[in-house]
Amino acid sequence: MTSIKRRTLMKNGVAVAIAGASGVTINASASDQDADENLTVSTNQELIDSVDAIFGEHMDAELNGDLDRTLATMTSNPHIVNVPTMIGGQGEQGVRTFYANRLIGQFFPPDVEFETISRTYSPERLIDELIISFTHTIEMDHLLPGVKPTGKFVEAVFVVIVGIEDGKVSYEHIHWDQGNLLVQLGLIDPEGLPLTGAGAAAKLRNPSIPDPFFNES
């Protein structure tokens, strides 16, 4: 399991924890701190632990396909939006239908790996920037509606915004790089298009990699 190093910054009363994966520590530079006299380093571990526990319980229930336990981790009027496909649900019944028909049993294939790039915290929301890798061996209505398994291995960049209210998940807005995902599945020919396939995830891991269009890093 990847070791995540986190540090919390307090700016204008909002706690933001910045996480670095693969042993890379992200530090605020002296110039960053000097630029805003209200910026102070804090160790708000209580906030981090609380939000991690709320979302962790929710994700564990999702990954185990436990519909009732998943809904128990959410508020009474939640919503979910998978932005590229517009698939999701509004309200308890809408979310229940989404989970029952579009997610349970087809969330991600067995070899899925979640690689955190950064995690940002506040009392009202959590924002995850991550790379999700898997072999496309199952149908995935929420991610790839109408696409049969291709057997191809892919790495896709995701940003997940999770609302937190009264100790429960109130919403999930899930964004991902659908164009480059479809390139990796062989469903889009990238020739002549500003698409890079797996290169997008590689660039996120290592920003020094030159782009394929201008060869600039």
Q: Where are the domains of the chain?
A: 46-205
Tell me what the mean pLDDT of segment 180-204 comes to: 97
Domain over 46-205 is classified CATH 3.10.450.50: yes
pLDDT at 64 (0 to 100) = 87
pLDDT band per the 50, 70, 90 thresholds, residue 43:
very low
Q: For residue 79, is pLDDT > 60?
A: yes
Q: For residue 42, is pLDDT > 80?
A: no
Q: Which strands, in side-by-side order, build the sheet including 14-20?
A: 14-20, 5-11, 40-42
pLDDT at 171 (0 to 100) = 98
pLDDT at 216 (0 to 100) = 93
Q: For residue 15, is pLDDT > 80?
A: no
pLDDT at 20 (0 to 100) = 35
Cβ neighbours of residue 187 closer than 8 Å, sequence gap 6 or more: 147, 150
pLDDT at 16 (0 to 100) = 40
Q: For residue 212, is pLDDT > 50?
A: yes
pLDDT band per the 50, 70, 90 thresholds, residue 191:
very high
Tell me what the mean pLDDT of segment 158-167 comes to: 97
pLDDT band per the 50, 70, 90 thresholds, residue 52:
very high
Distance CA 39, CA 28 (A): 10
